[in-house]
Each structure stands twice: as structure tokens, then as C-alpha cells.
Chain A
Amino acid sequence: MTAIPGRTFKKVKELSPAEWIAPGSPLCAGCGGLEGLRIAEKVLGENVIYVNAAGCLTLLSVFPFSPLRGSWLYTTMSAPAAASQGIRDALDVRMGKHGLPKSEDLQVVVVAGDGSTCDIGLSANSAAIHRGLDFIYFCYDNGGYGNTGFQWSPSSPYGSSTQTTPSVAAHPAGSEMKPKDLFEIWRAHDPVYLATVSPREPIDLSNKFAKAKALKGPRLFICMAACPTGWGFDPKDTNVVARLAVETGIFPLKEYAEGKVVHTKMPRKRLPVEKFLETQKRFRHLFAPERRDDIIAEIQKDVDSYWRLYE
């Protein structure tokens, strides 16, 4: 088994200046998902095929344009992992049976949102991970069905308002369910590597992709994708919102490998969750017309009980 490399990068200036995703795609300004993928790609480099599920990032390639230096295949909303199986198997068979040079091999990378990943694609993803498919899964998680105008997804946070979970008198919290814990669902599959990443923490993100690149098997990423359009904040503040998600402890940065979960970035002193909540329109109903201390306290309680296990 390949050894997992330690820290490859220590400073931002050590990251590659090469860009593998050109600017000028039709994605929203300030898209945290695209930023995460852009930094990840600096580590993955050449010879990548992106296998896409229906979602925001489907707009990366609109005929006749592609901002990618690698290959791209749009599939369906639930089949990118299954299609990745076909690509991986075909390349393996061609290299084994038909003498395709190893230099023609590709790193297969699924690019899918949290809706596709947690809902419609969950079964096919589970199967691909269970089969031990040699691929990278990049889930850009903005906590909602973003491309369709931001409806509720299983990743939508408790207390957030979406187009299909509006805050009304009978349901003041908006989204009343606690999000599906994708990290734990995936961890139960015992993948070779699993991590959460934030584009606001590029060194942490890059080191995790460097580890993944050195391994074979299912390597799974949940990327915090701050979403100006769906969350309701100015695109220039993506980095601020993304930073607050980490500093309030709402989005833990962690990894799983060789049977252990390790938090790669412990917030030294966690900020109160409302510092994150107050930056976004989807949580405005927690502050106006009247402050909902009960809902804010519930969100804080969940974050506190999570960290109590590790602090």
C-alpha cells in the first residue's frame, strides 16, 4: 500500500501558479465550489477527466466552450460515479488487453453537488465506493439545490430558509431537519481517503489533495461551497463567509484515513455561530423581524455537542 504523504505544502506561495481551469465560465461570481475545484486542480494537474452530475457546475462546459484543460463528460444527475466506473474499467482493459500506454491513463474525478450526492446519487455513489473504484469524488456542498434556484437539499442546515423550506409562522426555522451527515455515511464505507475542505483554507485543501493523489481507490471530498446566490451575500464576501464557517466550528475541517478521523484545523476559540449566520440572507429570519434566540441556540448547541467530542 502506498504511504500517505504528510504535509506537502506549508505556504500559499508553494502552490502551483499554473491554472487548469480558465476564468470566464458562466458560473456565479464568488462560487466557492469552483474556487475549491480550481485549487484542487493545481494539485491534481494534467490527465484528469471530470465526470459531472447535473448541478451548478454542469455550466462549466457550455458548447462550444470548456474552461478545462482536462476532459469532461456530463452524465445525468445520479450516474457520475457509475460512469466513472465505466471509464476506469475501460482504461484498465485497454492498458491490460490492448496495450494502451500507461501515459494515456486518466485520473477520474466526479464533480457533483450536495443534492446529487446526498439524494438521487447516494445509492450509485455508495456502490462505487463499495466496489473500491479508483476515483476522486468532489462534492461541492452549498447546502441546497443551487442550480434550480436554491431549494432544500438533505445538506441544508437546520434553521436555513430555502425556496422550498421558507420560514413561516408554523415553521419559523425554515429547514427543520438536521442535515444528512455525508461524512459519516461515507466513512462507514471505509474509503481509502475522505476529507472535508474549504477553498478558504488552500494549504489544508492542497495537502489533502496531495494525499489523495498518491493513493488508489475511492478518495472522497466534501468541499464547503459558500454560495453568494443561494445564501444571499455579496460575492466579494465569499472568503469571509467561508472563513466564518470554519471559525465558528460549523464546518469542521477533517480527514479520514487508515481507520482514523483527524481534525486538520481546530478553531482555537470558536466564534459564536451567529457571526456566520448574520452574514447571509438565508438566516435573516433568525434576526428579524424578531430575534429567534431559541433557533440560534439550537444551532449553537449542535455545533457545541459536535466539538465536545474532540476538544
Chain B
Amino acid sequence: MGVNGQRTILLTGNKAAAWGARLADVDYVPAFPITPQTEIVETLAKWFASGAMQGKFTNMDSEHSMFAAAAAAAASGARVFTATSSQGLLYGLEVLYTVTGWRVPFVFANVSRALATPITLEPDHNDVLSARDCGLVQLHAETCQEIMDFILLGYRIAEDRRVCLPVLVNLDGFYLSFTREPVVIPGEAEIRRFLPAFKPVQPVFQASRPQARASAIFGGGNYTYFRLQQHMAALAAERVFAEAAGEFGERFGRHYRAVEPYRLDDAEYVFVMSNSFSTKGKAAVNRLRDMGTKAGLLKLSLFRPFPAKAVADALRGRPKVAVIDQNIAPGVGGIVFPEILAALYDREDRPRRMLSVIGGLGGRDIRDGDFMTIVERLDRPDFTGPLTLFGESDKEQFQALQRIAGRREEALVP
């Protein structure tokens, strides 16, 4: 036990997420299992059962129902947490679009896992990016510590008068969900000072306050008004994040920004990344620097609202930038790349060379060699991209499977 009850313990990413909810003194968890998220709700179920957490844990029948229960409980004045992953996030997406319009605060973890088809288990970001336009605030975590801290920050953002929106905290399946890292758990009293009990700023359902919520509306202009309200609330979340992260840094000594620059100041080659693979990117930056190549990295922590100005400021004057998308929009390419381009377009000092990289699909590792290839392609102006990280070894491995399947055709890859 350290200062003010603070202690450091080894936690998987999933356990860190559960601890985030526990430290937030969450009242209610509606839950539905899905790999690789399940350890989160199992942990919370045990804590509610043992009395370590006060409130209610309810086993729901789908993610659709789970998000409906979560949002309705938030609209009824409870502090709510839940978790999902992959297909589950997609199954709940109709409700997520609906309840961001209810303007209710709650926080949930998404443990990234690549989408079917083919069905698989390891991560990429097609799941979480499918929820990019539904009005959620999204924080993407690189480490187990960030998962816990972002959940605490998430409640501050979600419950702020200027926001009143659900917050998604993303963590990569397997790479974080099942990886143990040392996590600093702050003392109870210090947490309560940072995150007091939930005091809803919107009216909540109770007998003395009858209200009609989420009523139908007709007329595009009237509809637009409500959509713009949501848009302004989502935009406001960037400032609220900055304020809350500032106070968090003062109290707990861990400082978070919407985007995190890593050895960027004199960098000639920049990798734009998010989530747990940023750690691999940072290690590659160090090795490239050891070899005399001035590399740097920009990590996106706040993905919604999209911190366009912070991105453009951070990339100002950097000559060559590769955006590594761990997702693929078939027929388009990477999903984040165009957002970065749009942020830079009207800046005089924008990077001269931009490259889209697609890699890390379905948990496929991104290795030092891949980062070397990215640097090499950044130096070749004739290479327009996107660069797809699917190399000879991947091809050989797949061809071995094809042989077992009895097929001899060459694998067709870009």
C-alpha cells in the first residue's frame, strides 16, 4: 500500500477494465459474454456477488438488449458500465445509434476483435471503427493502465453537462485483454475526489418527474436541430477530455492527451497508430533511431470526437507520414487514413508525403521488418500505396493451408 492507499498490481487488460468500473463505484452492469471480453463481466459478476461492488449485475440476452438496458438505466439515474467486442458491438449498433440520441452517460469497454467473415478471435479495429459515426465518445487504450484510467476519465466526460453521451473505451483483444501489466490502482478517497457519485444533469426517470424522452419528430429541420445538438456535444467532449485529463494528471501523475507524440520533434518518418500496437511502433522508432533513422510516432488516444487540429499540429512540418490502419474497408482501404488527410488538407505546413498502410488484420503481428518496409516505401515517391502488410512468410503459411485443403492455385494478393 503506497501513498493515499495507492498500490500497483499485475492485471490483464480485462481485469484493468473491471477495476475501472469498480473504482468508479458503478451501480449497474447488464452483461452478455463474448470472447475476448468475457473476463470483464465475469470479474464484475463476482464482485457484485461478493459485495465488493454494490448494485446489480444482470445477465442479458444479447448485446442489443444489453445496450438498451444500459442506456435505459442511465436514463433512470444509475451509473452504468458494460463491455462487448466485435460482432457484439455490431449487434448492438442499432441501439448505440438510438441511445446517443437519448443523451445518456455510461461507459463501456470494447475489446477489439476482427469481424467475420471469416470468423476469428484476434484483434483489429474494424469492430470499433464501425461505431465511429454513431455519436459515441471513443478512447483507445495502449496499455492496461490506460484502460483503467480511460474508464475513470470516461465517466467524467460522459457525465459532464456539455457532453451527456456514452463513452467507449477500446482495448485490443489478446494483446491487451489477456496480457498482464503492472497497473497503479489509486486509493479510494482520491478516486472519489476525482470522480464523485453520479449526479445526473439531465432529468432521470422517477415518479416526481414525468417526462417524454426520445419522442418522434417530423420535419427535416426539426430533426437537424437534435442531430446538431448531438454533434456539438460530441465536439465538446474534446475540451472536457482535456480538462478532466489535466486534473487526472495533477492528482495521479499520469498525463493523457487526445494525441500522444512519441519522439516526434525532429522526426522525418512518422507512424500514426492507435491502441496496443503503438507499443510495437514505439519500439520500432527506438530501433530506427539507433540505426540513425529519425523516426517518430503519433498515437491517437481520443478517436471520437476526432481531434483534427491536434493531429494537424502534431504532424506540422513532419516530412513523411505513414498512417497504419489495423482495419480494411473493402473497396476503399484504411478507414483512418482519409480522416488524417482531411485534417491536414488546408494546412500549408502539412507533410509532403503521406502513405496509407494496412496491417495487423485479425491480430497479424506488425514486426520490426514491417516498419523498415514502411520507411523504405515512404522514401519511394513512385509508390502510391496503400502498403498492405502481407509478406512472403504470410503467403507461405497460407499456401501450406491451401495445400492441405487440396488446392494448388497461387494466392491472389495485392
Contact = CB atoms under 8 A, between A and B. Distances in A.
A binds B: yes
Interface in A47-94: 47, 49, 51, 58-59, 61-66, 68-76, 78-79, 81-87, 89-94
Given A87-B72, A91-B206, A100-B206, A79 B215 contact: no
A123 B205 contact: no
A46 interface: yes
A66 B76 contact: no
B77 A94 contact: yes
Given A61-B216, A90-B28, A83 B210 contact: no
B56 interface: yes
A83 B72 contact: yes
Contacts of B135: none
A59 B73 contact: no
A262 to B, nearest CB: 30
Interface string B205-242: 11111111111111000100000000000000000000
A143 B197 CA distance: 47
B217 A91 contact: no
B98 A76 contact: yes
A89 B212 CA distance: 20
Contact of B205 (A46, A82, A106): A106
A290 interface: no
Interface stretch (B63-71, B154-162, B388-396): B63-71
A187 B210 CA distance: 33
Interface string A130-155: 01000000000000000000000000
A71 B68 CA distance: 17
Interface string A97-140: 11010011110000000000000000110111001000000000
Given A82-B64, A87-B76, A72 B215 contact: yes
B68 A76 contact: yes
B56 A79 contact: no
Contacts of A47: 207
Count chain A CB atoms within 10 A of each CB in B62, B68, B78 and give the residue with the most.
B68
Contacts of B62: 123-124, 127
Contact of A123 (B61, B72, B73): B61
A275 B77 CA distance: 52
Given A76-B94, A85-B60, A100-B206, A71 B65 contact: no
B215 A75 contact: no
Given A83-B68, A87-B72, A71 B58 contact: no
Nearest to B94: A76
A90 B73 contact: yes
A74 B213 contact: yes
B207 A103 contact: yes
Contact of A93 (B27, B59, B71): B27
Interface residues of A, number: 49
A72 B213 contact: yes
Contacts of B72: 51, 73, 75, 82-87, 90
B217 A86 contact: no
A64 to B, nearest CB: 8
Contacts of A66: 212, 215
Count chain B CB atoms within 10 A of each CB in A62, A73, A97, A126 and give the residue with the most.
A73
A89 B216 contact: no
B30 A85 contact: yes
Count chain A CB atoms within 10 A of each CB in B71, B214, B222 and give the residue with the most.
B214
Interface string B178-210: 000000000000000000010000000111111
B54 interface: yes
Contacts of B59: 131
B18 interface: no
A63 B58 contact: no
Interface in B39-85: 54-56, 58-62, 64-66, 68-78, 80
A94 B207 contact: no
Interface string A231-271: 00000000000000000000000000000000000000000
A124 B64 contact: yes
Nearest to B104: A86
B61 A104 contact: no
B95 interface: yes
Nearest to B219: A63
A73 B72 CA distance: 9
Contacts of B30: 85-86, 89
A26 to B, nearest CB: 9
Contacts of B61: 82, 123-124, 126-128
Q: What are the 6 tightest A-B residue pairs by CB atom distance, in nearest-first order? A: A86-B72, A127-B61, A82-B65, A86-B69, A90-B76, A79-B68
Given A76-B64, A87-B75, 11 more contacts: A75-B68, A79-B95, A81-B65, A86-B76, A87-B205, A89-B58, A91-B206, A93-B55, A124-B64, A124-B68, A131-B58
Interface of A: 46-47, 49, 51, 58-59, 61-66, 68-76, 78-79, 81-87, 89-94, 97-98, 100, 103-106, 123-124, 126-128, 131
23 contacts: A49-B205, A66-B212, A66-B215, A73-B214, A76-B98, A79-B64, A82-B69, A86-B68, A86-B69, A87-B73, A89-B78, A90-B75, A90-B80, A91-B206, A93-B55, A93-B78, A94-B76, A100-B77, A103-B207, A106-B206, A123-B61, A127-B62, A131-B58
